[in-house]
């Protein structure tokens, strides 16, 4: 199979996976129990709309598979773990009205287990903003993750299949001490998001990651906009804006094992080093840089105005 046909089949596959993942939470959680939380609650607390729990943590102790925890406006100073098949959602589409602020700064503000979901909240001031546990499928939507000491979102490893994928959609990740998103080997879909002004890279994916990355703004990070490793990976990107990062727009590393990275319809402008840097980390890594696929014609990229050059030759990182 040539690279062009592989690109099209991969794009179609990821689009289908995205549709399925978005639909599934509605089916699974639609008939589940609803528990309410209100920081102004007093008196009897039973999780009903009239007698909500005062803290998210207490609500989650009563949440079972299929429960939706609805959180009313306010600032909640606590670290929470969302159990398996539980959804936590702010009651407003303005995520700034529901703020979860770490009580313990050396822990993740939010830890997510398998089939957990988090919508319409702001998460701040923890070690990590959100930590996704190993083997967990999660959905994070319309969440602002800011001012955490390390990564905004830290994704532990998982099998690369639909049952374990992480969907990150319409999030804003700003001002975290390390990467906006760091992922170990797993399956990731990242769309419609803003990742900016983080202390290291915007996104950093380990070798072996399978990812679809589309329509994101990845700007003004102190490291590179995105760091990918070819080895064992299948990373496909489309229509991303990657601007004004201190190092590369995209850094692509190779150690010598086959993998693929595709860059299509990108705007990569004004970064401090190369727009796209191809870095061989071993002698064997010099051979697999041909598996970086750049879009052409209607899928062409706009890569210009980067300080060291727009697309590097193969650089030796050893």
What is the chain's pLDDT, residue by residue, as a tens digit (318 residues)? 444 444 544 555 455 455 544 444 433 334 479 999 999 999 999 999 999 999 999 999 999 999 999 999 999 999 999 999 999 999 888 999 999 999 999 999 999 999 999 999 999 999 999 999 999 999 999 999 999 999 999 999 999 999 999 999 999 999 999 999 999 999 999 999 999 999 999 999 999 999 999 999 999 999 999 999 999 999 999 999 999 999 999 999 999 999 999 999 999 999 999 999 999 999 999 888 889 999 999 999 999 999 999 999 999 999
How many angstroms separate the CA atoms of 259 and 219, rounded?
26
Give 298: exposed, middle or buried? Use CB within 10 Å, 0-12, 13-18, 19+: exposed
**In which residue are the tokens 């030796």 written?**
316
Q: What is the pLDDT of residue 10?
A: 52
How many angstroms separate the CA atoms of 300 and 239, rounded?
10
Query: Which stretches does DSSP call E strand in 158-225?
Result: 166-169, 172-174, 181-183, 187-191, 194-196, 203-205, 210-214, 217-219
How many angstroms separate the CA atoms of 67 and 119, rounded?
14
* pTM for this predicted structure: 0.91
Determine the 3-state secondary structure of 115 from DSSP.
Answer: coil
Q: What is the pLDDT of residue 91?
A: 86
Chain-centroid distance of CA 11 in Å reads 19
Q: What is the pLDDT of residue 24?
A: 40
The answer to whether the beta carbons of residues 190 and 215 sit under 8 Å apart is no
Determine the 3-state secondary structure of 153 from DSSP.
Answer: strand
């Amino acid at each position: 199979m040539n690279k062009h046909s592989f690109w099209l089949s991969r794009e179609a596959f990821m689009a289908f996976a995205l549709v399925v993942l978005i639909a599934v939470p509605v089916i699974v959680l639609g008939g589940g129990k609803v528990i309410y939380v209100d920081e102004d609650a007093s008196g009897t607390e039973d999780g009903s709309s009239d007698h909500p729990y005062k803290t998210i943590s207490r609500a989650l102790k009563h949440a079972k598979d299929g429960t939706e925890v609805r959180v009313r406006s306010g600032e909640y100073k606590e670290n929470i773990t969302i159990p398996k098949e539980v959804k936590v959602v702010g009651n407003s589409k303005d995520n700034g009205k529901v703020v979860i602020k770490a009580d313990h700064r050396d822990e993740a503000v939010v830890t997510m287990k398998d089939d957990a979901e988090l919508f319409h909240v702001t998460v701040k001031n923890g070690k990590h903003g959100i930590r996704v546990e190993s083997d967990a499928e999660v959905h994070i939507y319309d969440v602002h993750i800011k001012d955490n000491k390390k990564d905004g979102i830290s994704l532990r490893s998982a099998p690369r299949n639909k049952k374990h994928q992480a969907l990150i959609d319409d999030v804003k990740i700003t001002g975290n001490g390390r990467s906006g998103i760091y992922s170990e080997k797993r399956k990731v879909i990242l769309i419609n998001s803003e990742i900016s002004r983080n202390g290291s890279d915007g996104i950093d994916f380990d070798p072996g990651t399978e990812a679809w990355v589309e329509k994101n703004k990845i700007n003004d990070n102190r490291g590179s906009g995105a760091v990918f490793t070819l080895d064992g990976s299948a990373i496909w990107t489309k229509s991303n804006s990657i601007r004004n990062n201190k190092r590369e727009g995209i850094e692509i590393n190779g150690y010598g094992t086959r993998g693929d990275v595709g860059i299509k319809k990108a705007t990569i402008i004004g970064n401090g080093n190369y727009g796209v840097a191809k870095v061989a980390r071993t002698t064997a890594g010099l051979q697999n840089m041909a598996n970086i696929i750049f879009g052409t014609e209607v899928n062409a990229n706009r890569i210009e105005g980067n300080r060291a050059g727009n697309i590097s030759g193969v650089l030796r990182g050893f």
